[in-house]
Structure 1
Amino acid sequence: MVHSAMTPAKRSSRSFSSWNNYLFVLPIVLFVLVFVLFPIVYNITLSFQDVNVYNFKKEHHFVGFENYVSTFKDPVFYTAFRNSIVFTVFSLVFQFGIGFALALFFNRRFPGRNLMRSLMLLAWMLPMVITASVFQWMLNGDYGVVNFILQSLGIIDQPYSWLSNQSTSLLSTIIANIWVGIPFNMIILLTGLQGMPEQLYEAAKLDGAGKLKQFRHITLPLMRPTILILIMLGIINTFKVFDIIFIMTAGGPVNSSNVLPIYSYQMSFTKFEFSQGASVSMIMFVILLLIAMVYLRMTNKEEAN
């Protein structure tokens, strides 16, 4: 029997190779530590302290849940929270509904399909600042193209201030956000539809199933994982939308389009109550974390079944 022993040179080479593997993941670990974990930990710490513009460079005192109590006592918080829910729900419903309809349409073969699909992606590819600025111009009460079209068609008699009116300011931002999100929903759903096995639909046709039954009993069940992922990503991305609302209305007028990200910004960088702004951010973080946990639980149940 021959016993083989690892030489010191081989051990050294293997050890170097092991450390070399760690070096490859070091950049991403540093990135997560600096740009993800550190801001979260710092924000948590800040939310339990009394930090504002007057004592920013002084010693910060621990105040417990005082910032959270002040936040929950502020009526503007509840206005922003309600607007966030409305903004998220309406945006998701129309983004998903229109996106699914377009995905079903583009899943068919017809001339110019690829060109039209590429043009649809322009809305998603444009920077949010440009999109918000375009919608701000279109909905302007004095020279907006929307008022011009509606007046030309005789729908309205005089120009309407869409962004400066309390009843339509939030609706205007929702419409802009829907326009941005439709292409993303379409592409994700279209990818799922194109991965469907054709044999199932052929078998359903032989059994006499129509288009509606095929959609209900084949398409929807097989698309369920894709739909869950899309809705989860949509809730997270929409709930924390800041730029499009900030550029179009800045949360106004009279907080009619104010949402939690804008409210947190106002507390931190308008009123300079940094700790209270951090507490609002943490409330948003907890809400999204709970939603993510619900999604993971649903996913685990599906995998188990």
Structure 2
Amino acid sequence: MSAIADDLRRERAGPGRQRNRRRANFVIFLGPAIVLTILFFVIPVIIDVVVSFTDMGRSLQITGFTTEQYEKIFGGDRRLVQVIGLTLLYVFATLAIFNLTFALVLALVTTATNRMTGNFFRGVWLLPRMSPSVLYILLWVWVINPSEFGLLNQILMSVLGLETPIDPLNEAPVMLIIIANGFIGASMGMIIFTSAIRAIPEHLFHAARVDGAGSMAIIRHITLPALRWPISFVTIYQTLSLLVSFEYILLLTEGGPFYDTTVYALYIFRRAFDTGQYAYGAALAVFIIALGVFFALLGWRFFDMQKLLQRPRIEVQ
């Protein structure tokens, strides 16, 4: 009888042990991530919102709470419309031309060749991503040098017979920052798309070729449908990344000439740290946070990301 009673106690204690194990796993695996998210994402957002309702300046002193910063945003900052328009152009042009289209072309080309050649080409393309930002921009400074010694002018003058050197920094600054950021930004999409293409079963390509499908038909009917989720992820991630990135723009053009290449994130930086208007910079940052949340939710809804993250139909024990 005692043995039967022990078995009954074990069966009753079983669900409790499982619950305790789940809680322990939750704390061990997700606990550090939750703590870091609160410390480095949630708390800074709260501090930013609080500072935006103050008059904090270069002295870092707060003498009172006010809505003056938001009044300036909605009625007193005449450069803001130009900055927002440039930011939207910069984000969507860089995303569409380079981070998606060009990255996809790179992935298709490098996977169509033999594996060694493709790996070598992808490795070369990743070199700017692995190099210091200053070194990458120094190369661009040499390329766009307005004198006859700049790489671009050397090519144009020797190959095309151009007589007068061009100055892309002053003549086409917006195109310059799009190309400079796009070339280095395409590497991420290239790696993700390449991994997705490599994961497509080989027999699908063999069957398509046996049926007489050409290269474009294979890309359209086999490759692109398999890249739906990677394209969705890259679109959302790169949109949010471009909204808040200004490192290469600051190093290459410093936001100039004048404010011609000053995107929204760089405008916040210049307002806060160049002029010492920390409260106004915090108020501007509130809107970029809200914009990031809006684009994230829009992308989540448009690409139906919930379907990607649903629980598997087959449970592996």
Q: Any conservation in 2 of the 1:107–1:190 contact (CA below 8 Å)?
A: yes
Equivalent residue for 1:216? 220
Which of 284, 291, 302 lines up with 1:287 in the alignment? 291
Equivalent residue for 2:180? 176
1:72, 1:130 → 2: CA distance? 39
Q: Any conservation in 2 of the 1:79–1:258 contact (CA below 8 Å)?
A: no
| Residue identity matched to 1:283 | F
Q: 1:116 to 1:47 in 2, by over 3 A?
A: same
Q: Any conservation in 1 of the 2:55–2:62 contact (CA below 8 Å)?
A: no
Q: 1:24 to 1:186 in 2, by over 3 A?
A: closer
**TM-score, normalized by length of structure 2?**
0.82
Q: Any conservation in 2 of the 1:123–1:183 contact (CA below 8 Å)?
A: no
| Residue identity matched to 2:157 | Q
| Residue identity matched to 2:291 | I
Matched residue of 1:3: which SS? helix
**1:88 correspondence with 2:91:** yes
Which of 39, 42, 48 lines up with 2:47 in the alignment? 42
**TM-score, normalized by length of structure 1?**
0.85
| Residue identity matched to 2:110 | F
How far apart are residue 135 of structure 1 and its match? 0.9
1:233, 1:246 → 2: CA distance? 21
| Residue identity matched to 1:148 | Q
Number of equivalent positions: 293
| Residue identity matched to 1:123 | P
Which of 138, 157, 165 lines up with 1:151 in the alignment? 157
2:21, 2:220 → 1: CA distance? 57
Equivalent residue for 2:69? 67
1:262, 1:52 → 2: CA distance? 18
Q: Any conservation in 2 of the 1:129–1:243 contact (CA below 8 Å)?
A: no
**1:248 correspondence with 2:252:** yes
Q: 1:154 to 1:285 in 2, by over 3 A?
A: same
In the alignment, structure 2 segments of 5+ residues that lack a partner are 11-15, 311-317
Equivalent residue for 1:124? 129
In the alignment, structure 1 segments of 5+ residues that lack a partner are none
How far apart are residue 195 of structure 1 and its match? 0.9
Q: State the superposition RMSD in angstroms.
A: 2.8
Q: 1:257 to 1:22 in 2, by over 3 A?
A: same
Q: 1:253 to 1:299 in 2, by over 3 A?
A: same
| Residue identity matched to 2:49 | I
How far apart are residue 301 of structure 1 and its match? 6.4
- For residues 95-151 of structure 1, the C-alpha deviation after alignment (integer angstroms, 9 at most, x for no partner) is 222221121111124253322222222122222232123212321223432223222
Q: Any conservation in 2 of the 1:52–1:272 contact (CA below 8 Å)?
A: yes
1:21, 1:188 → 2: CA distance? 29
